[in-house]
Amino acid sequence: MTTAPHPASYPNDRRRSFLKGLGGLAAAPALAAVLVSGDLYVNNAFGLALRKPSGWGFEHLRTFADLRNEYEFATPSQEVSELLKAGPLPLMVASQAPLLRNLAASLTLYAEDNSLDEGQSLMQASPDIMRALGMLLADFRVTTAPHPVDVPGAEAIEYIASFTYRDRLGHQGPARNRGLLLLRAPHLFTLNMFDLPADRIVAQKKFDEVRASVVFA
């Protein structure tokens, strides 16, 4: 697998061209680490951009941190639950409605260093990834097996799974996670969309739109 240069090392003119093509943003402010303009989210540090679903809102990451602390991760281990709550925050959170006040579909984007073995593909790693998720989420079940999808500039796989959510207010029920894993060396990105079909909160078509909008510099 060819290793791409870190996005921070891209010449400024290339980065400006990348960002100018995403909604006509001005070149000078486009060099900020993160930009949000309408539905557009641009992370210049990682050389990645996407569009949230129209009508959804970007959540402040502090709000997400507060929400995470209120959420009871339905795991077999309290220690694992606390580790999840103390883990890194996502790069971006978007939601169908304000999450602290509503039961709503949401979208999260995470980035981490690529931890796959040298030469290992996402499809090869997918059984281990699914097993790990099964240890973290109650009643986790893969409903659509991981499969390759086309995202220009990255190796990508997608899956759909269900699990049981529970919060401290006593709400619980089945939830659906549609996940997109993107390998763009040296980083592994995870885009998760959660919705609640049992509560008639369905966002699968929105996920298709978001996936189609992903652009790497």
Q: Residue range 29-45: average pLDDT?
A: 81
Q: What is the CA radius of gyration of the chain?
A: 17
Quick one: pLDDT band at residue 131, thresholds 50, 70, 90?
A: very high
User: According to the model, what pLDDT value does residue 206 have?
Assistant: 93
Q: Would you kindly state where each structural domain of the chain is located, as residue ranges?
A: 57-216
Q: What is the pTM of this model?
A: 0.76
pLDDT tens, residue by residue, 196-215: 887 788 888 999 999 999 99
CATH number of the 57-216 domain: 3.40.1000.10
- Going by C-beta distance under 8 Å and a sequence separation of 6 or more, which residues neighbour residue 123? 146, 147, 148, 157
User: According to the model, what pLDDT value does residue 127 have?
Assistant: 96
Work out the angle between the directed axes of helices 122-136 and 78-86 (0-180°, nearest 10). Answer: 120
CB 61 within 8 A of CB 41: no
User: According to the model, what pLDDT value does residue 101 have?
Assistant: 59
C-alpha angle with apex 105: 99 to 109, nearest 5 degrees? 85
Q: Is 81 helix (H, G, I), strand (E, B) or coil?
A: helix
Phi-psi region of 79 (alpha: psi -120 to 50; beta: other; left: phi over 0): alpha
Q: Residue range 189-199: average pLDDT?
A: 88
Phi-psi region of 176 (alpha: psi -120 to 50; beta: other; left: phi over 0): beta
